[in-house]
Structure 1
């Protein structure tokens, strides 16, 4: 009797016969596998779109990459982005892809573009522009609208060639408008028939591959006209009815953003929904300057809910949620002064020339913020116009944990200038592209102590990068790179985190929570999404404003140095910061 070849019982990666030739072998890197276990040195081999070997000495490769002294990690799984529109026209999805994200999840905060009737196209654009500061003109120009239902939207995403993988959640506000029409916009109470229809459509979307459902219950989310979003006051029965679809399909997570005006009531319905459906529920958590103990109370609520059998998690950011202020960003310290606002339509070059005119400088600095202008600008413009001790010089490389010495107030005090004069002269200096950092949340004590506590908490999930959103005031898609530079390598104002802990937070934890079961780890058989990073040279660049969205829409982007390569499905998509042009990315479906 012929005995079976014992090698046939081993993984392919373990067979080191003379004819074995891997597609790619990454040699001698420091392997940080995404599980949180201690890093080690070895090879990683890739065959096709799968990882074939992790550790040890791999056989020869058709291509070999020397990773000596560099980190070899899974690709980042970014669970909080707003590329819902951009993903239908832009194959690269920068800056997220520049920063090592190989999988991104859209449909957050209850906003998106499906399901949708033709008559409501403008309504959904207005919602996205108002809530996420994505230029409406760019969305109107870029969106193809070759879909109506959510499954058709997924099919449209599936047809488009792309660099990295995308996935989507069902957003509440479009769903509500699709079912209820103008009654949703007027925030009327959903009827039993409405709820049944929303539940059925959510189930349809989940079975087509959606990774969950999201909603928003905050006063901060408004349309460009200042109206609250359609789902702001959705009653518990509506949320339970929609959530039941997750229970029926046994897939997806329920996500939401809330002001927690009644903390006990919010945790009551969240816990009930999670337990009744058997599905995880997450909410966005930041601190509040006016209530510094709030985040601790909410985390105690999470622990109580978990102790009661509910799967409730807080999604947190890796740095303060802050606004970038400059001469050409959407918000500026001088935006509410009439003489400055009068220059808003000028090109950057012409605007800077006018601002450097001594007469224009004197006129702007002589003015106070106009109540008429403040009334039509975002609420944050009011404190920005006067709070000089909360505005910090961003610098290059940018400093997101500045001490008080970098505030405009302190820097001005060392001169014979007022804070407004100092700020004006600073912003109009050099090429006029200098910027300030104005932390809005997670900076109540003037450092990252609160952020550290949130990241460290085992009942939180790392997210809130907001890639694709807040185009003119925020650029937090660089969060994964920042986690390595600041929290692992550079932080000097408090404790850092171990490398392995940070990589786990960026990969297996986010992947596992949402059910991306084939990625997030360097392990045999997993999808070959890999980052090769030179931690020593990893460096964030100063944000820059570009007008590269459709119709010339503007956005902030942020470059990075130090990524030797980013690999998606076994194909290098970036090498030393340069795009290779290959398009191995795809739509990921939850049932795929």
Structure 2
């Protein structure tokens, strides 16, 4: 539905952070026609009787912070936009612009269904932990076939926030080679040339950049490919160099994830950002600068790499993304993105979500159990290299193998909620030894089932195998696998060589919830008296990096604005406001954040999208809020 003209608004008495990083100031802001028309003290109130001012709104903002709309630079909202274009979980937290098609996955070429293959479902289901029925519904709507048609499609959607699409590498390979060939052989010269031509075309059309992926645990979901990685993983360095040279020539952004288990390959790949060695700096943003609890060396490597690549000698333009939150990841039984990293646990992620029988068959397999036990016990005792790596916290896997770190959210036995698995394991052993009693009939029945499944074994591995077999996805638990130390998180978020990001919004529906990541960054800044600096890093700085028209609070700028209650922000505890809700649009549940009271007002294109805890009834129905933003400049950062 086409929207009526944007209203006339006057925001009075706010403390303004304009996104430049300069000192804040108190002023009024006038908005008309979707743009900021005036900024200054004591602006005249609109004449509500005048034809031009009829329906005008005066917003009293004394004691509030007014800033440009916030950018979320690592999202997968392109999928949700096809089903629920308002993107409410972005808007309610003050996000007015989202970058989509990260990690080499997206919808630039539509559903790409050919030869019985369903690439959108195959690529997204396990990598982004989105149920297949939702992905099939998205693919059914994705009837365009070219990158230009996708941009035209986005311009017709009643978007909530603005969307900034990247051109995704996996989908580019599928478009040129087909899904099967893209994971089974190298492209020939003609196919490389066609990829270059399509990427060149997308850059000319205004795509903000190009996304690739090299994380070694991103796998396809559909048979017979469930043990193959997504197509971008099979692109060799020579292919990557030729494609990123096009991105470099257009001064656009390359978004990447590293081959984390191969440090020398990480360095070689990211050196493509160098202006000294490749003629011109290539803007590169990578995920992620997080402090992994089991491997403290990764965050050290991230810091060293940022300083090396951005040095005057290398002359790169490199920004790793730092998450402004503890990296808490939820699991439904064995299903969690962290499990994909470990071969034995990855097997449990291969069956479809509703195929409990297949998972239980795997859990009952003696060969699988032996493999799992070996993994679980590695480095926990004796003298070995694995033991040394565990002591030094330089382990290979991000997931903790400490039961005390695994916190139960809900389970078939009500008494288990809120407990860690270590205490539950000890209680199970004590009950079995006659040293304690079950606390309910339900727990007694569950422990009997665990005893039968464990076949007399009482070690941690046997307990976990039995627990997963008995409960499957009815057991929900979480673990903070990174960013446990608030001081380290603060240092990463504030580091000028990083950018706040890696929220992964729109993906991992039941596994993660960092939709409020920008607010968490502002809360850190508030405690450090660095609000102006951080507002710039959430608005103008990423907008300039991606070369888009956003992140400004100045006369003539599009009126994407956010009004924050600083007292509510100071009191906000995100971890306590995490919820699992039902999303009728998806027919599925989703883990979300609730920061109500922190964000008073969100304007998108001069229109009220959120005010005082409520969405505009027209959000997601009328055009005129968010737009598809194309790259319009290439400002160096």
User: Common fold, TM-score beyond 0.5?
Assistant: yes
Quote the Cα distance in structure 2 between the aligned partners of 1:546 and 1:453.
33
1:136-182 Cα shifts (integer Å, max 9, x gaps) = 21121233122111111111111111222111001110111111124
Q: Does 1:280 align with 2:283?
A: yes
Structure 2: how far apart are the matches of 1:320 and 1:104?
21
- Aligned equivalent of 2:402: 387
Partner of 2:324: 318
1:141 aligns with 2:141: no
Correspondence for 1:244: 245
Q: Any idea what the Cα deviations from partners look like across 1:532-589, whole Å, max 9, x if unmatched?
A: 1112224446333334265623322222212211001111111112111334211111
The Cα RMSD (Å) is 3.8
The answer to whether structure 1 residue 71 and structure 2 residue 65 are counterparts is yes
Partner of 1:440: 481
Partner Cα separation in structure 2 for residue 209 and residue 253 of structure 1: 12
Contact 1:54–1:522 (8 Å) recurs in 2:
no
Equivalent in the alignment of 2:37: 52
1:351-394 CA distances to partner (integer Å, 9 max, x unpaired)? xxxxxxxxxxxxxxxx9x93659979xx9x97989733213578
Q: What residue ranges of structure 1 are gaps of 5+ in the alignment?
A: 1-21, 337-343, 347-366, 396-405, 490-495
Query: How many residues are matched?
Result: 513
Tell me the CA shift for residue 42 of structure 1. Answer: 1.8
Distance in 2 between the 1:419 and 1:476 partners?
A: 39
> Match of 1:567, SS?
strand
Q: d(CA) in 1 for partners of 2:21 and 2:409?
A: 32
Structure 2 unmatched ranges of 5 or more: 1-6, 47-55, 340-344, 346-352, 377-397, 411-417, 433-437, 447-473
**Aligned equivalent of 2:594, options 554, 559, 563:** 559
1:274 deviation in Å? Answer: 4.6
Normalising by the residue count of structure 1, what TM-score does the alignment of the two structures yield? 0.77
Residues 561-570 or 533-542, more deviating: 533-542
Per-residue CA deviations over 1:207-243 (Å, capped at 9, x if unaligned) read: 1121100111111211222321112132111011111
The corresponding residue for 1:14 is none
Alignment of 1:34-433 (within 5 A): 34-61=19-46, 62-116=56-110, 117-119=112-114, 122-143=118-139, 144-182=141-179, 184-224=181-221, 225-248=226-249, 250-275=250-275, 276=278, 278-285=281-288, 286-307=290-311, 308-325=314-331, 370=363, 372=365, 387-392=402-407, 408=420
Q: 1:524 maps to what in 2?
A: 555
Residues in 2 aligned to 1:234 and 1:191: alpha-carbon distance in whole angstroms: 12
- Separation in 2 of the partners of 1:68 and 1:87? 35
Matches within 5 A, 1:397-546: 408=420, 437-443=478-484, 447-485=485-523, 488-489=526-527, 496=528, 498-516=530-548, 518-538=549-569, 539=572, 540=574, 542-546=577-581
The residue that corresponds to 1:23 in the other structure is 8
What whole-Å deviation, never above 9, does each CA across 1:95-126 have from its counterpart, x for those lacking one? Answer: 11111110111010111123253317612221
Q: Note the C-alpha offset of 1:200.
A: 0.9
Retained in 2: the 8 A contact 1:256–1:283? yes
Q: Which residue of structure 2 lines up, in the alignment, with residue 573 of structure 1?
A: 609
Q: Secondary structure at the match of 2:31?
A: strand
Counterpart Cα distance in 2 of 1:33 and 1:394: 41
Mapped partners of 2:526, 2:430: distance in 1: 38
Residues of 2 paired with 1:468 and 1:273: CA distance?
28
Shift of 1:183: 5.0
Q: TM (normalized to structure 2)?
A: 0.72
Aligned partner of 1:11 in structure 2 is none
Q: Secondary structure at the match of 1:315?
A: strand
Q: Provide the C-alpha distance between the structure 1 equivalents of 2:338 and 2:309, rounded to a whole number of angstroms.
A: 41
2-structure distance, mates of 1:262, 1:327? 30
